[in-house]
Amino acid sequence: MEDIQAIKQRFEIIGNNPGLNRAIDVATQVAPTDLSVLITGESGVGKEIFPRIIHAYSARKHASYIAVNCGAIPEGTIDSELFGHEKGAFTGAISDRKGYFEVTDGGTIFLDEVGELPLSTQARLLRVLETGEFIRVGSSKVQKTNARVIAATNLDIPQAVKNGKFREDLYYRLNTIPIIIPPLRERKEDIPMLFRKFAADFAEKYRMPAIRLTEDAVTILQAFRWPGNIRQLKNITEQISIIEQERLVDGPTLRKYLPENDPMLPTLSTNHEHGDASFASEREILYKILFDMKKDMNDLKRLVYDLMQNEPHTEPVPEQTTSLVLRHLYDNDTKPFTPTSNTTISSRQEDSLQATEAIIEESFSIEEKEKELIIKALEKNHGKRKLAAKDLGISERTLYRKLKEYHLEN
């Protein structure tokens, strides 16, 4: 038996996810047997590859292999397609016809989307699995088949059984050996490799240089949920390959091809989803606060100096007055104080300024300052949090957390 890497190369399987490797291992282990196999996984994960692996490594590899999409065949003709019919069995049956089970006698039949089969057909399929017998539509003659059945579905079969949409006995008969294919969102480490493979394929197909991704684009690619899985990734890669002139694709460009309402997508200013992003956002807002504090200190010095010029014997400004002055600065956007060459300050006034600075430093609260900045940003943008976060230079996620922390949700 070939190792997993050789099997991946043979069937063009990309990725090293443990769940994917486990599925391949189970497929190769069950291949030499005649047991029924049920492959489950979301639409677009590549379920159709695994029946081919099982057939290729079985004793039936030189016999027929047929893949049937049960969901694509009308309910009125599905029995005829699977089991065949006799001439005159129904309108349009102008001759005898062999069904897939008869054609694949000794080989393998893959029933894709088996959950879409009507209940009457499920009963016929159960008989084939248990006894190998079937009857053509319009006939009373029992025939035998030695076809191996491999089924696949993206439905929740246990739930379909509860809802009366799928036979419980058929489910257990098909599910002798289960193979579960993980969705693409659980294979984040495989996504960049798949993208490069598709990009190279389309570059060869359309005779153009292959597209590449920047680091921020790779981050977005891995954060996306991919509801359409590999099929969706392949389609988007083809779209970008054809439409974009620039061969190096960055994050903003990639976002144009992804749905905008995916909650898993990171903001462009955030490179990581957890601790690093939180730390970076905290640092951004603290830098902004410190910068504003420096500006406010110059403004406060000017106001205090002007007061002392008018009242030479003014005592150091009390803490309450300082808070009011700070509020006044934000409301009136006073220009920073820059002394001119004609400016003179007495020793008493200089002492008062130093005392005022000491009071400011002792009573200043970063939390209050941060809260005040957030309130002002929200007021400026009429409560629109996205715009407020942009003005503050932080992500929306950080802003939501700060609103909750300071009880400002309303």
Token pair for 232: 């969706």
Nearest alpha-carbon partner for 266 in 220, 197, 306:
220
DSSP E strand stretches across 16-122: 37-40, 65-69, 108-112
Per-residue pLDDT of the chain (410 residues; tens, 9 = 90+): 568 999 999 999 999 999 999 999 999 999 999 999 999 999 999 999 999 999 999 999 999 999 999 999 998 899 999 999 999 888 888 899 999 999 999 999 999 999 999 999 999 999 999 999 999 999 999 999 999 999 999 999 999 999 999 999 999 999 999 999 999 999 999 999 999 999 999 999 999 999 999 999 999 999 999 999 999 999 999 999 999 999 999 999 999 999 875 555 555 444 444 444 444 445 555 555 655 665 666 666 666 666 666 655 444 444 444 444 444 444 544 444 444 444 444 555 555 445 444 444 444 566 777 888 888 888 888 888 888 888 887 877 788 778 878 788 76
Residues 317 and 172 in one domain: no
Q: Which residues contact 244 (CB under 8 A, 6 or more apart)?
A: 211, 253
Residues 302 and 327 in one domain: yes
Residues 224 and 302 in one domain: no
Residue 392 is predicted with a pLDDT of: 82
Residues 238 and 139 in one domain: no
Token pair for 131: 């006894």
- Assess if residue 264 is contained within a domain: no
Return contacts of 114-117, CB within 8 angstroms, 24+ apart. Answer: 114/38, 114/70, 114/151, 114/152, 114/153, 114/174, 115/153, 115/154, 115/155, 115/157, 115/160, 115/165, 115/166, 116/70, 116/71, 116/155, 117/70, 117/78
Token pair for 350: 């200089």
Q: Is 231 exposed, middle or buried (0-12, 13-18, 19+ CB in 10 A)?
A: middle
Residue 408 is predicted with a pLDDT of: 81
Residues 164 and 205 in one domain: no
Residue 68 is predicted with a pLDDT of: 97
Run of H or E including 124: helix 119-131
Token pair for 351: 């002492």
Of 182, 216, 245, at which residue does a domain stop? Answer: 182
- Assess if residue 389 is contained within a domain: yes
Nearest alpha-carbon partner for 352 in 306, 404, 305, 384:
305
Q: What is the Cα–Cα distance from 198 to 303, expressed in whole angstroms?
A: 65
Residues 112 and 31 in one domain: yes
- Residue 72 DSSP symbol: G
Residues 157 and 11 in one domain: yes
Residues 250 and 307 in one domain: no
Residue 264 is predicted with a pLDDT of: 54
Q: What is the Cα–Cα distance from 50 to 22, expressed in whole angstroms?
A: 12
Of 224, 255, 286, at which residue does a domain stop? Answer: 255
- Assess if residue 265 is contained within a domain: no
Gyration radius (Cα) of the chain, Å: 35
Q: Which domain holds residue 209?
A: 187-255
Return contacts of 358-362, CB within 8 angstroms, 24+ apart. Answer: 359/316, 359/317, 359/318, 359/319, 359/322, 360/297, 360/300, 360/322
Please give the torsion angle defined by the CA atoms of residues 250, 253, 256 and 260, in that order, rounded to the nearest 10 degrees. Answer: 40
Residues 92 and 25 in one domain: yes
Q: Which residue has the tokens 């599905």?
A: 78
- Assess if residue 40 is contained within a domain: yes
Q: What is the CATH number of the domain that holds 217?
A: 1.10.8.60
Q: Within the chain, what is the greatest distance between any pair of CA atoms?
A: 118
What is the torsional sign of CA 281, 287, 290, 291? negative
- Residue 214 DSSP symbol: -
- Assess if residue 261 is contained within a domain: no
The phi and psi torsions of 328 (rounded to 5 degrees) equal: -60, -40
Of 182, 201, 225, at which residue does a domain stop? Answer: 182
Do residues 36 and 129 lie in contact, with contact meaning Cβ atoms separated by under 8 Å?
Answer: yes
Q: What is the CATH number of the domain that holds 79?
A: 3.40.50.300
Residues 192 and 123 in one domain: no
- Assess if residue 260 is contained within a domain: no
Residues 41 and 155 in one domain: yes
Residues facing residue 38 across a β-bridge:
151, 178
- Residue 94 DSSP symbol: -
- Assess if residue 267 is contained within a domain: no
Nearest alpha-carbon partner for 30 in 46, 7, 53:
53
- Assess if residue 204 is contained within a domain: yes
Give me the number of domains the chain comprises.
Answer: 3
Q: How far apart are the first and last CA of the chain?
A: 64
Residues 172 and 61 in one domain: yes
Residue 64 is predicted with a pLDDT of: 96
CA angle 288, 290, 294 (to 5 degrees): 115
Q: What is the bridge-based pairing of β-strands 177-180 and 37-40?
A: parallel
